Amino acid sequence: TLISEGSDFVKKFPNSEYNSSVYARMANAYRQQGNEDKMFEMGEASLKVNPNNVDMLALLAYSMPRRYDPNDLDSSQKLQQAEDYAKRGLSLIPTMTKPANLTDERFAAAKNEELASCHSGLGLVYFYQHNIPGMVTELEQAVKLDPSPDPTDQYLLAYAYVQAGRYADAVTPLTACSAQGPMASRCKQLLDTVKQHLAAAPKK
């Protein structure tokens, strides 16, 4: 399998320049298996070899805050690390060179996907830091850039709008994430609250 071939390769060639890519492939393979611990381990190993591997920066920026537990002893370091990965990804992804085998459209789509992951991760970091303006800025970008926005991002963007008193802005993301998916019932609940608030608000 890809995982056993990859671990054989890095054992045989511990100083190879390809090891960042090998670890990255292993991280994605573990992600597909649902083994998050190994995915994080391989992602970190990939970034040790090449701190500018944008695929891994985007993957870890997106995944780390979703695994965040405030009760962990190193929770604040983990949140800081996720923030660093997201910000480094956001600065590097726009400067990427297009591979010869990709069309302009596919390259633009791939870049947007990785940017959306970084914005999403940063928005979640700001959620835990109670930074509402930061959440709005980052999650608006995440939802805009992703052709199939993450329902958690839509819900949290709406939550941030509500916290900022922007009830009308919360309707669109909540309507989208109420339609289906794991966040549907929470989105419906918040949407009902938002609609009640808008109905009760004095007309200007």
Low-confidence ranges of the chain (pLDDT < 50): none
Q: Under a CB-based contact definition with an 8 Å cutoff, are residues 69 and 128 in contact?
A: no
Which long-range CB contacts under 8 A does 3-12 form with residues at least 24 apart?
3/29, 3/30
Per-residue pLDDT of 123-158, as tens digits, reads 999 999 999 999 999 999 999 999 999 999 999 999
| pLDDT value, residue 8 | 82
- What dihedral angle (degrees, nearest 10) is formed by the CA atoms of 162, 166, 172, 173? -40
Cα distance between the two ends of the chain: 64
- What dihedral angle (degrees, nearest 10) is formed by the CA atoms of 37, 43, 47, 48? 40
